């Protein structure tokens, strides 16, 4: 059976990148690797749209976020964290472990924070040193307007703007410098199309200054060390060499496609999925849907386990289920990374077939037709 | 030019493991991956010779050591750390960052700690909560008698025995349970023959108890979370999926070869290298040489840069140079991981040719002959 992955991380890895990573390993302190890391460092700046350093850390995205909290803030300091899902919850908890006070803006799952909520939180907490947003919350497929809210933070405070861009970078327009972001992280297994194991952290001038003053203890995640190594296109500790070799190719391809085109492709693919599932009578979960992953309500008559058994077992398609309160109630289809237009016909086709076989009634082919309509209309 | 890597991490990755890792990526919360992780968890116990949990963390070996310090000890507590090289230096510094007091036993580079030194340190610091050893110090190719010194610690104190086994596991006999070790870490890019990006941490019952009491703040490196996930053959954060798939194969092969045979092979290879370089008149750097990596004094008449340019540029052999005070003075040949007897003839052959071309005079072929003598004598 042919297998196809539609999960929001790991995302599919292009075959030629897999094979490039399968070439004989090289040593990380040798000129061959330094050449690769130099190019990676340069192209990461392009990906984040910044002239500032973007550091490569060997860890998951959570490790990258921990590094930001540990290096920008000190115990006793206060930050505001927007929580509208599984990862928002985590970013509320994580800083507290290190004595950083977190003020929570809680949004119902599937909704994004409003301008007013941010302004109010800043008014009530004029001493907040940072505000943390999630650009695309993976658990709810919900996008936050980072451009707008970063401006709001800048206009109403001196707080630093921290962005979890783990599932957003490469899918959503993102301009680190122009939008005044202070710190942003992404992971390797997302828009960058390679296996998990690396996190990338961009830091503004103000954030770099903050790393010098932060009193939170750290060693592996000490970004002062990483920044120093970055200048020499090196890393303080042995990096995940094969993954860096993979991300080098992925970044070159993103650059060749053009970052604006990559964003536009993700928007188009998200639109086809939304149209496809809506046409067969399903409802979208989020009221501010992401371009990276689309969560969809299962029809009440359809059981998740039965549906997923057909989708995965018979058609080889892996999607993600719902989490926490929405377990067995929603499913999430990813279109983040290495996907094209035809993949969207494929996945909607498989969803149609699996729903039919689960006993759900609708006009057969209406989903794929809706996808086709959008694709044929695009300029 | 055919390239051959003889560095102590990354070490060469078997081609079939590289290609296995290049297969289509799978999702880490799916049954396919759980099956792999279940087998990895079981075989890691075999590798460490323990019935205790061995945790898989996505980070470098340093991250694994940090996890041990953060979870076993608390700020204000005291530990003893043996420092005889670059990594010893690091393990003295790292705990201090987190407020753990480290008492340093300083050994000259190339020497191992004695029983007496450990007994004295424990007498002077009866309140020490742990003693940290490096089984094989990579910077100096020096082995420590962990079996003996662990016993010494156990007999003279209640301190926990922490072992940096990063370059030793798979090369040196190591029996976690039998020797009374409390915590040990290795890295993926060492004896396990896969690319860097994973650390593996074994914990004794006593160490697991200690994780419950430790007050050092941690999140990504919180081993209580990792232990809980381990029970369900899961990980708390997205693991480096492709590397776990690789280590699964490597562990199965180590199990098939038999761990005693793997240790014996490393001892044999180390003996051939020592005999080979000694026969051509070079001197060994360490007085307690490791089975993983052999540091060798360069003849005074030979310039490191010139020698390495020939060895690497003409013969495609990458070895490691000396560090700190021994930069340009020694070179380090690794025989850790995926190496066999014939590789040792190859590397000694290339060293001979490169020394000759660097102007060093000796009886041509005496090195390879010495290697052959050992190999032909083995039972």
Whether residue A265 sits in one domain with residue A253: no
Q: How many domains does chain A have?
A: 2
pLDDT for res A379? 65
pLDDT for res B344? 98
pLDDT for res B75? 98
8 A C-beta contact, residue A366 and residue A279 = yes
What is the band of B110 on the pLDDT scale with cuts at 50, 70, 90?
Answer: very high
State chain A's mean pLDDT as an integer. Answer: 97
Average pLDDT value for residue range B100-118 = 98
Beta bridge pairs of residue A186: A200
Q: Report the residue from B10, B98, B222 with minimal CB separation from A241.
A: B10
Chain A residues touching B195 at Cβ < 8 A: 25, 240-243
Q: Quick check: B18 contacting A, CB < 8 Å?
A: yes
CB contact under 8 A, B238 and A9: yes
8 A C-beta contact, residue B348 and residue B367 = yes
Reported as a single tens digit per residue, the pLDDT across A63-108 is 999 999 999 999 999 999 999 999 999 999 999 999 999 999 999 9
Whether residue B267 sits in one domain with residue B198: no
Reported as a single tens digit per residue, the pLDDT across A249-283 is 999 999 999 999 999 999 999 999 999 999 999 99
Whether residue A202 sits in one domain with residue A135: yes
State chain B's mean pLDDT as an integer. Answer: 97
Whether residue A319 sits in one domain with residue A201: no
Whether residue B252 sits in one domain with residue B133: yes
Average pLDDT value for residue range A30-37 = 95
Chain A residues touching B96 at Cβ < 8 A: none
Whether residue B263 sits in one domain with residue B212: no
CB contact under 8 A, A197 and B240: yes
Whether residue A359 sits in one domain with residue A271: yes
Whether residue A215 sits in one domain with residue A99: yes
Last residue of a domain, one of A212, A234, A257: A257
Average pLDDT value for residue range A19-35 = 94
Chain B residues touching A98 at Cβ < 8 A: 217, 219
Task: Evaluate if residue A296 carries a pLDDT over 90.
Answer: yes
Reported as a single tens digit per residue, the pLDDT across B214-257 is 999 999 999 999 999 999 999 999 999 999 999 999 999 999 99
Average pLDDT value for residue range A56-67 = 98
B positions 224-263 inside 8 Å of A (CB): 237-243
What is the band of B14 on the pLDDT scale with cuts at 50, 70, 90?
Answer: very high
CB contact under 8 A, A217 and B97: yes
Q: Quick check: A196 contacting B, CB < 8 Å?
A: yes
Q: Which residue in chain A has the smallest CA separation from B10?
A: A27
Look up the CATH number of the domain holding residue B239: 3.40.640.10
CB contact under 8 A, A242 and B21: yes
> Residue A56: which H helix or E strand, with range?
strand A54-58
pLDDT for res B304? 97
Last residue of a domain, one of B237, B257, B277: B257
Whether residue A297 sits in one domain with residue A153: no
Reported as a single tens digit per residue, the pLDDT across B36-84 is 999 999 999 999 999 999 999 999 999 999 999 999 999 999 999 999 9
Best residue in A21, A63, A215 to probe B by mutation, most B CBs within 10 Å? A63
Chain B residues touching A73 at Cβ < 8 A: none
pLDDT for res B378? 78
Look up the CATH number of the domain holding residue B263: 3.90.1150.10
Reported as a single tens digit per residue, the pLDDT across B289-338 is 999 999 999 999 999 999 999 999 999 999 999 999 999 999 999 999 99
Whether residue B271 sits in one domain with residue B236: no
Task: Evaluate if residue B379 carries a pLDDT over 70.
Answer: no
pLDDT for res A378? 78
A positions 202-221 inside 8 Å of B (CB): 217-221
Chain A residues touching B97 at Cβ < 8 A: 217-219, 222
Last residue of a domain, one of A233, A257, A281: A257
How close B238 comes to chain A (CA, Å)? 6
CB contact under 8 A, A27 and B12: no
Average pLDDT value for residue range B128-153 = 98
And the tokens for B46?
């075999």
Best residue in A97, A138, A222, A238 to probe B by mutation, most B CBs within 10 Å? A238
Whether residue B327 sits in one domain with residue B236: no
Reported as a single tens digit per residue, the pLDDT across A204-234 is 999 999 999 999 999 999 999 999 999 999 9
Average pLDDT value for residue range A22-34 = 94
Whether residue B144 sits in one domain with residue B25: yes
pLDDT for res B297? 98
How close A217 comes to chain B (CA, Å)? 6
Q: Report the residue from A9, A196, A238 with minimal CB separation from B240.
A: A196
CB contact under 8 A, A187 and B9: no
Percent of chain A with pLDDT over 70: 100
Q: Which residue in chain A has the smallest CA separation from B316?
A: A26
Chain A residues touching B92 at Cβ < 8 A: none
Range of the domain at B158: 15-257
């Amino acid at each position: 059976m042919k297998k196809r992955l539609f999960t929001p991380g790991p995302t599919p890895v292009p075959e030629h990148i897999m094979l490039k990573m399968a070439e004989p390993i090289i040593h990380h302190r040798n000129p061959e690797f330094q050449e690769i890391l130099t190019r990676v460092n340069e192209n990461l700046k392009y990906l984040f749209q910044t002239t500032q350093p973007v550091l490569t850390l060997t860890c998951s995205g959570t490790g990258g976020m921990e590094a930001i909290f540990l290096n920008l803030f000190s115990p006793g300091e206060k930050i505001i964290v927007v929580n509208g899902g599984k990862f928002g919850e985590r970013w509320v908890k994580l800083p507290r472990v290190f004595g950083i006070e977190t003020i929570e803006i809680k949004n119902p799952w599937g909704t994004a924070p409003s301008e007013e909520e941010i302004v109010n939180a800043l008014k009530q907490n004029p001493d907040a040193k940072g505000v943390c947003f999630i650009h695309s919350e993976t658990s709810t497929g919900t996008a936050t307007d980072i451009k707008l809210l970063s401006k709001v933070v800048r206009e109403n405070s001196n707080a630093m703007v921290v962005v979890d861009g783990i599932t957003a970078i490469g899918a959503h327009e993102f301009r680190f410098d122009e939008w005044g972001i202070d710190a942003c992280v992404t992971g390797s297994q997302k828009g960058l199309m390679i296996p998990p194991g690396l996190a990338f952290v961009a830091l503004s001038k103000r954030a770099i200054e903050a790393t010098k003053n932060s009193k939170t203890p750290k060693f592996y995640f000490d970004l002062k060390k990483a920044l120093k190594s970055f200048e020499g296109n090196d890393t303080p500790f042995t990096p995940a060499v094969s993954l860096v070799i993979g991300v080098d190719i992925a970044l070159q391809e993103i650059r060749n496609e053009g970052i604006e085109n990559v964003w536009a492709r993700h928007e188009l693919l998200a639109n086809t999925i939304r149209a496809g599932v809506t046409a067969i009578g399903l409802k979208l979960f989020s009221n501010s849907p992401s371009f990276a992953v689309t969560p969809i309500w299962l029809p009440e008559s359809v059981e998740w386990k039965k549906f997923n058994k057909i989708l995965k077992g018979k058609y080889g398609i892996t999607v993600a289920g719902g989490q926490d309160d929405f377990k067995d109630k929603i499913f999430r289809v990813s279109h983040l990374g290495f996907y094209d237009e035809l993949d969207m016909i494929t996945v909607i086709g498989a969803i149609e077939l699996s729903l039919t076989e689960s006993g759900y009634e609708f006009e057969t082919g209406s989903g794929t037709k809706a996808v086709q309509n959008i694709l044929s209309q695009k300029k």
